[in-house]
């Protein structure tokens, strides 16, 4: 280093500031004054931060609103609309056979008579179908069935997948290896084909035995669908959960927690589960439209719910034959399916953007 001597005072320089500086400002600042400047960003939890992001996403918010509207409609509508989904329309207690395939908001001859006589006939918002049933209420019930199927199927997938995946992920070693090999094999089976196959089989096997039980209205096809979901569809979730657990298990903060003496249970509760939550929620949210999709698909092929119980898919299928004559019958369930699936997809995307730890900047 050079022979630098810092003790030589710097050369005197002319005062560089043209403006007048207030000497009192050169008093030391107190700690409170300094603290005012130190504006730290408020710390939030992962959950709160994610929810904030979610609500800022217009598409996600819109889809949530749509879903809530749909939910409210399907809960309230049967209370308001006086028709049932399985029975023919009756006028004055008599079955009205002339009310076949009516376009929306029209009345049949008998109903018109009744109105002229002063009775109040609730309008057929979507018209009627080929068996003289009010189409609106059928679509509503169809939506109920489709949503319920989606919901329960996702629950099955969530439950089995979460359990399996967490055991595999946390246990590690040989257990993990074997469990994952099984998952690999199941994963490579083409699910839709298996669903179809099982539906056909179970339809024959269970058809007779279900008569008279409460499950008869759902039909063997739906049961077979749930069975296949329970048998096949959980593998995706299991893989996801296991992957998350493995990543987290090997993260430094888990190591740190163990080094500090945290018990296993505490580690699972406080570290592993919260970090898995995001992925699990997203995956479940995206599983619902997938299940509804599968159900509609099966119904469309003719392997859906037992008539007269409607589902959006079976309604669409029934409408197919008469598409040229009555196109509206196709449109309503189709729009229903698209709306529900789209909303869930957008919601799932929004959740992923908000909660996925990999995407956080």
Binding site for another protein (CB under 8 A): 1-2, 4, 6, 10-13, 15-17, 21-29, 33-41, 56, 59, 184-185, 188-190, 192-194, 196-198, 200-201, 204-205, 289, 293, 296-297, 300-303, 316, 320, 323-324, 327, 330, 334, 337-338, 341-342, 345-346, 349
CB of 5 or CB of 45, closer to another protein: 5
CB of 34 to another protein, least distance (A): 5
CB of 266 to another protein, least distance (A): 29
CB of 324 to another protein, least distance (A): 5
CB atoms within 10 A of CB 223: 17
Q: What single-letter DSSP state applies at residue 231? A: I
CB of 80 to another protein, least distance (A): 28
Per residue, the 3-state secondary structure of 33-48, as one string, reads: HHHHHCCCCCCCCHHH
Residue 98, token pair as written in the block: 């002339």
CB of 34 or CB of 174, closer to another protein: 34
Residue entry with tokens 């296991």: 242
CB of 59 or CB of 114, closer to another protein: 59
Question: Which ranges constitute the DSSP H helices of 29-172?
Answer: 31-37, 46-56, 58-80, 109-116, 135-171
CB of 117 to another protein, least distance (A): 39
Residue 33, token pair as written in the block: 């004054």
Residue 331, token pair as written in the block: 């449109």
CB of 267 or CB of 346, closer to another protein: 346
Residues 6+ positions from 149 with CB-CB distance below 8 Å: 222, 225, 226, 291, 292, 295, 311
Residue entry with tokens 């169809």: 142
CB atoms within 10 A of CB 326: 18
CB of 75 to another protein, least distance (A): 23
CB of 256 or CB of 338, closer to another protein: 338
CB atoms within 10 A of CB 144: 20
CB of 83 or CB of 229, closer to another protein: 229
CB of 39 or CB of 214, closer to another protein: 39
CA angle 88, 89, 93 (to 5 degrees): 105
CB of 153 to another protein, least distance (A): 16
- Whether the Cβ atoms of residue 187 and residue 235 lie closer than 8 Å to each other: yes
């Amino acid at each position: 280093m050079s022979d630098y001597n810092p003790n030589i005072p710097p050369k005197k320089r002319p005062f560089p500031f043209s403006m007048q500086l207030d000497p009192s400002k050169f008093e030391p600042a107190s700690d409170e004054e300094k603290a005012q400047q130190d504006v730290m960003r408020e710390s939030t939890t992962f959950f709160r931060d994610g929810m904030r992001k979610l609500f800022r996403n217009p598409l996600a918010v819109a889809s949530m609103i749509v879903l809530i509207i749909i939910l409210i409609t399907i809960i309230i509508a049967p209370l308001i609309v006086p028709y049932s989904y399985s029975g023919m329309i009756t006028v004055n207690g008599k079955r009205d056979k002339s009310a076949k395939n009516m376009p929306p908001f029209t009345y049949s001859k008998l109903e018109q008579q009744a109105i002229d006589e002063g009775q109040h006939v609730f309008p057929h918002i979507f018209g009627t179908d080929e068996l003289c049933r009010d189409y609106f209420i059928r679509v509503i019930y169809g939506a109920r069935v489709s949503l319920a199927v989606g919901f329960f199927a996702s629950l099955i997938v969530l439950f089995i997948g979460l359990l399996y995946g967490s055991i595999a992920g946390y246990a590690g070693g040989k257990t993990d290896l074997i469990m994952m090999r099984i998952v690999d094999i199941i994963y490579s089976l083409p699910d839709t084909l298996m669903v179809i196959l099982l539906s056909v089989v179970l339809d024959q096997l269970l058809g007779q035995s279900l008569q008279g039980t409460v499950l008869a209205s759902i039909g063997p096809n739906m049961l077979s669908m749930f069975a296949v979901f329970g048998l096949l569809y959980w593998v995706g979730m299991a893989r996801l959960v296991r992957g998350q657990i493995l990543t987290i298990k090997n993260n430094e903060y888990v190591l740190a927690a163990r080094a500090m003496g945290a018990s296993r249970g505490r580690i699972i509760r406080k570290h592993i589960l919260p970090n898995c939550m995001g992925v699990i929620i997203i995956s479940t949210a995206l599983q619902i439209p997938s299940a509804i999709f599968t159900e509609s698909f099966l119904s469309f092929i003719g392997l859906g719910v037992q008539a007269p119980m409607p589902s959006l898919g079976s309604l669409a299928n029934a409408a197919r034959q008469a598409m040229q004559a009555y196109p509206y019958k196709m449109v309503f369930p189709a729009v229903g399916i698209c709306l529900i699936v789209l909303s869930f997809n957008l919601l799932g995307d929004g959740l992923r953007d908000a909660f996925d730890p990999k995407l956080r900047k």
